């Protein structure tokens, strides 16, 4: 149970987020609090909205790999960089659904499907819709990341039952052009607006370690928190330097700075799932534990993300046992009734 001070702290922070009044200055002050005070605030907010010992588990599958026309400097799948990754065709629906069933059997409650596209072509939409319907029929939450979406595409995916759409803003508006030049920051926000308007939940976060300043990380989180509605899921990635990519030689992120960013995300977006996403293979168990204490309550499970390594189920299960964590139960997601 929270003490009076913690309750008041959590209440005031919730009020600021709900009103959409976060400024860079306010967020910077929170970020720069003494570490123990920052973690106390973040944990207080977290406990006001979530079971502090429950972690939401998602599984990610690349349904179409490589050959992307975008020049995202962090990505192994960009056709602009000699990363050695071969392009593949869009996966068959039956295989995607079979992989989703395996993920569900392994404890995942949300299934995320990603395609390396600037945006989906009309000829692929029927297959994409069938994937969403097939995974929904298993009783799982569905998520997709397909690049930019038009309002019509967003509506079609919503009608198929898509629960979440992932479209990261990656970094601050100021630093964005240092990482990507083939689409703008405004393009990212437009897709998020199209998805939200269609009634799909938003999954949007960013990447740390691309050469950005700490203020860029703060600005990215303030942008997300001040959207008309904060994203329901906020993945925070640590850059995995890909040989051949533009950002291959970036130095690693300071662990304390990373934990501070997780804590700020929790405070600015109290009701969002904050996902400890790419880069966990480079994090110690102790660093991950700090992230969970700071308010991270979602991870990807399995040995692979889209193209990068991820800690396997055995390692995650062992860490969960050591920390007394448990998988978050799936709520209000049922298979669609047969007609």
> What is each CA distance from 80 to 12, 77, 247, in whole angstroms?
46, 9, 13
The two structure tokens encoding residue 42: 């973040």
What is the predicted pLDDT for the residue at 302? 60
What is the predicted pLDDT for the residue at 91? 87
The two structure tokens encoding residue 226: 């001040």
Q: Is 291 annotated as a binding residue?
A: no
- CA contacts within 13 A on the Cβ side of 113: 30
pLDDT in tens, 172-222: 999 999 998 888 999 999 999 999 999 999 999 999 999 999 999 999 999
Intervals of the chain under pLDDT 70: 1-20, 66-67, 69, 76-87, 302-313, 330-339
Closest CA to 102 of 339, 336, 337, 313: 313
The contacts found for 75-79 with CB under 8 angstroms, 24 or more apart, are 75/242, 75/245, 76/242, 76/244, 76/245, 76/307, 76/308, 77/116, 77/306, 77/307, 78/245
Q: Nearest 5°: phi and psi at 238? A: -100, 130
What is the predicted pLDDT for the residue at 1? 35
Tell me the sheet residues that pair with 121: none
How remote is the C-alpha of 7 from its chain's centroid? 28
What is the predicted pLDDT for the residue at 316? 83
Maximal CA-CA distance, the chain: 58
**What's the first-to-final CA gap in the chain, in angstroms?**
47
In this prediction the pTM is 0.84
What is the predicted pLDDT for the residue at 7? 42
What is the predicted pLDDT for the residue at 256? 97
> Are 188 and 72 in contact, with CB atoms under 8 Å apart?
no
What is the predicted pLDDT for the residue at 298? 92
What is the predicted pLDDT for the residue at 20? 55
Question: Which are the contacts of 98, defined by CB distance < 8 A and separation ≥ 6?
Answer: none
Percent with pLDDT over 90 in the chain: 58
What is the predicted pLDDT for the residue at 186? 94
| Catalytic center residues | 68, 72, 75, 112, 143, 203, 275
């Amino acid at each position: 149970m929270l003490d009076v001070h913690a309750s008041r702290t959590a209440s005031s922070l919730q009020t600021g987020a709900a009103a959409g009044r976060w400024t860079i200055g306010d967020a910077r002050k929170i970020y720069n609090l003494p570490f123990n005070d920052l973690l106390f605030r973040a944990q207080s907010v977290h406990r006001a909205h979530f079971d502090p010992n429950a972690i939401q588990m998602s599984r990610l599958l690349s349904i179409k790999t490589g050959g992307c026309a975008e020049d995202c400097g962090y990505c192994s799948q960009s056709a602009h960089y000699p990363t050695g990754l071969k392009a593949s065709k869009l996966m068959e629906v039956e295989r995607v659904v079979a992989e989703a069933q395996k993920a569900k059997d392994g404890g995942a409650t949300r299934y995320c499907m990603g395609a390396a596209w600037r945006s989906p072509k009309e000829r692929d939409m029927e297959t994409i819709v069938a994937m969403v319907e097939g995974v929904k029929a298993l009783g799982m939450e569905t998520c997709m990341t397909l690049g930019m979406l038009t309002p019509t595409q967003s509506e079609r995916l919503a009608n198929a039952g898509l629960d979440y759409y992932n479209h990261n803003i990656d970094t601050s508006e100021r630093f964005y052009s240092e990482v990507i030049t083939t689409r703008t920051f405004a393009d990212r926000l437009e897709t998020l607006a199209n998805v939200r308007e269609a009634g799909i939940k938003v999954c949007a976060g960013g990447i740390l370690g691309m050469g950005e300043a700490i203020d860029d990380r703060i600005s990215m989180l303030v942008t997300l928190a001040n959207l008309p509605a904060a994203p329901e899921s906020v993945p925070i990635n640590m850059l995995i330097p890909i040989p051949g990519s533009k950002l291959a030689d970036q130095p690693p992120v300071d662990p304390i700075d990373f934990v501070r960013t997780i804590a700020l995300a929790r405070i600015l977006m109290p009701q969002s799932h904050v996902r400890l996403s790419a880069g966990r293979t480079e994090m110690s168990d102790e660093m991950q534990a700090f992230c969970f204490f700071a308010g991270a309550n979602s991870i990807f499970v399995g040995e692979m993300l889209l193209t990068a390594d991820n800690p396997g189920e055995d390692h995650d299960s062992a860490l969960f046992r050591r920390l007394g964590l448990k998988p978050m139960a799936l709520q209000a997601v049922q298979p669609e009734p047969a007609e």
